[in-house]
Amino acid sequence: MFLLCKVLTKHSYVKTEIKKRFFYEKATVVCVKSINPPDLSEVVKMKRHESFSLFNRKHLERAHILIRILMGMPDVESFFAACVYARDRLNTHLFVYAVSVAVYHRNDTKNVVLPSNVQVLPHLYVNNKVFAPLKEELGVIPEKFRNPVENTNGPTASDLDIEHRVAYWREDLGLNLHHWHWHLVYPFGFTEADLPVVNKDRRGELFYYMHQQIVARYNFERLSNQLARVRRLNDFKEPIMEGYYPKLHNMATGRDWPSRQPFSFWRDLNREKSTDEVIIDVLQVHRWRDVIMNAISDQRLLKNDGTYVSLNSEQGIDYLGNIIEASILSVNFNRYGDLHNSGHMMMGYIHDPDYRYLEDVGVMGDNSTAMRDPAFYLWHAYIDDIFVAHKELLAPYTQAELNFDGITVQEITVKVDNGRDNEFSTYFEQHTIDINKGLDYLPRGSSPILISHLQHAPFTFNIQVNNSGAERNGTVRIFMAPREDERNEDFVFRHQRRLFIELDRFVVTLKNGSNLIKQPSKFSSVTIPFEQIFSADERQNNKTNYCKCGWPDYLLIPKGNAEGLPADLFVMVSDAQKDFEPGKYLPTVTGEKECKPAPEYCGLRGEKYPDKRAMGYPFDRLPRAGVSKLEQFLTPNMFVQKVDIKFDSKAKANSLKV
């Protein structure tokens, strides 16, 4: 037994040895509960100054040992003591990941809100050019006179690389924070002992849907910037034309994150001499892909116990999500392997597959950084294709299944604040955020950086619905897709359906007769607001960590272009009685102070996914025979409005500090 103490802020209790080491002028020693030291002998094999990668099975195994230890602590005081004991012994990134997963999943910490990860590990998000001027400011300029350092000081590429046109989106801090948080809420686990944090309702399907929406949104953003839809990496031998030079510092290794030359290609990974010990053959990934594609053609999966599970059902996608990712809920890991995670590894070590240059993993190897890289989208567009191959074998929805008898959607209008109807307005906006929590420089104190991000003018959907029957509840589903393809010709529906991005989903009561529904954009159940993403304050009450998972509100609408990018805004009202368990509707967001959940992409803590329909409904399956245009797909409970997305290139500065 031993006593653990945590250094805080009062002078008198400082132990000499702590003072000597950390040079604290003012500090206190806070004693924490005495516990038996947890066995970290396996976890410490991940060295403090190595690069941690969640897709690396060795690293994952070690992270999950710590997660199990932390989940197993009998009370919150013991949990805290174990965290303090582990903190200085372990790799920082591994520690932050494991503690965050445990805080998410323990019942007694569900109201604890961790600070935004950009405040904890800023090096994973912020351009490395920020840190030298920031050090200068901290060392020389008194706190109240410090100017924010611009994160955009050093772009990651020049316009010679056409992919750089969408770097503002790929490298957005809130976007990458969403991805980090999503994977904290939905870890894929290492052994069955991890089921308590992995086993959630429809988690395989949500893996498919959340990433499908990322690819659809990326394509929308590309079309806004005169780029073709992203190429799919369906040939693992083809060169990756897209290079990436992340300009990120790796705090653990003291080096910068490795880059990828254009025209690199996958090679067998044989890094046995590296501490990451990654060994994967390209052919192995091929085999996993083939066996999965064969299972899709057969519409059944072979389980571990020799029996089969059918894919020809609404639940098929959930099984498929778990075997493709792969999570420990895979019905047969030995057979279907580790396809998606291995793709991240192949991309992540592409610059040094046999460790001859002693290089660490690239940004594709980590959830916090992967979405910055164009390669992420090549890979996920292909992963999405596999899911679509399965979905296309399911029977199309009939008109009767899609319709909601007696309900007619007559109109949807987008009312834009200070703007024109049906014309979304986008622009760039700047904010100051403080990253001092994640910096170890002395003296400490306010460390402001200026970030720039896409934004849209607030708007309200006005939807006119007629109900010819008795009062009932309807689920309003709002999507948008680009109307024109790369040739400026109208999309055929078969392709356009894959580009629909979900903007909102909510339940309303429809009285008999005419109903005008007004839904403000800030209440979208897809998004969370800026302050919720970047808040550094971990002491807020009545909030849970699920609050940090959600699409950034400011990225709800794609950029569009100066002329106005034509898009189709789609609304459907379906029968809420069929969509939801009785009384288990989507949470209604009414105020601005509450923790705003974003259940569409993140689910709800401790509850079933709050919509029984297939995720992506009604665009998740091929249309019925004879439908080749969106207009032909519509039933009376649906409506399409032509809209434009107009981008204003004059940045509107905003001095909001978080």
In angstroms, what is the minimal distance from the CB of 25 to ligand CUO?
Answer: 43
Q: Indicate the residue among 183 and 453 with the shorter CB distance to ligand CUO.
A: 183
φ, ψ (nearest 5 deg) of residue 409 = -90, 120
Please report how close the Cβ of residue 535 comes to ligand CUO at its closest, in angstroms.
23
Cβ distance to ligand CUO smaller for residue 213 or 525: 213
What number of H helices and E strands is found in the chain? Answer: 21, 18
- How far from the centroid of its chain's Cα atoms is residue 581's Cα? 27
CA distances to 115, 180, 528, 573, 592 from 596, in Å: 16, 18, 6, 23, 8
- Asked if 570 and 190 touch (Cβ cutoff 8 Å), the reply is no
Could you tell me the two tokens for 397?
């929805």
SS3 content of the chain, % helix, strand, coil (to 5): 35, 20, 45
> Between residues 378 and 476, which has the closer beta carbon with respect to ligand CUO?
378
Residue 376's Cβ-count burial label (10 Å; 0-12, 13-18, 19+) is buried
Least Å from the CB of residue 444 to ligand CUO: 33
Give me the helix-helix angle, 374-391 and 339-348, nearest 10°.
160
Is residue 411 flagged as an active site residue? no
Distances (CA, A) of 109 to 73, 79, 390: 12, 9, 39
Cβ proximity to ligand CUO, 248 vs 643, nearer residue: 248
Per CB under 6 A, residues contacting ligand CUO are: 179, 183, 211, 340, 344, 370, 380
Token pair for residue 7? 């250094």
Residue 212 or 521 with smaller CB distance to ligand CUO: 212
Torsion of CA 276, 279, 282, 283, to 10 degrees: -160
Catalytic residue, from 325, 359, 429, 502: name it. Answer: 325
Closer to ligand CUO by Cβ: residue 183 or 260: 183
Q: Least distance in Å: CB of 186 to ligand CUO?
A: 9
Name the closest residue to ligand CUO (Cβ).
370
Q: How many Cα atoms are found within 13 Å in the side-chain-facing hemisphere of 143?
A: 7
CB of 340 to ligand CUO, least distance (A): 6
Output the smallest distance, CB 82 to ligand CUO, in A. Answer: 28
HSE-CB at 323 with a 13 A cutoff on CA atoms is 28
**505 to each of 285, 520, 588, 610, 624, how far by Cα in Å?**
37, 12, 10, 11, 24
- Supply the residues annotated as catalytic: 325
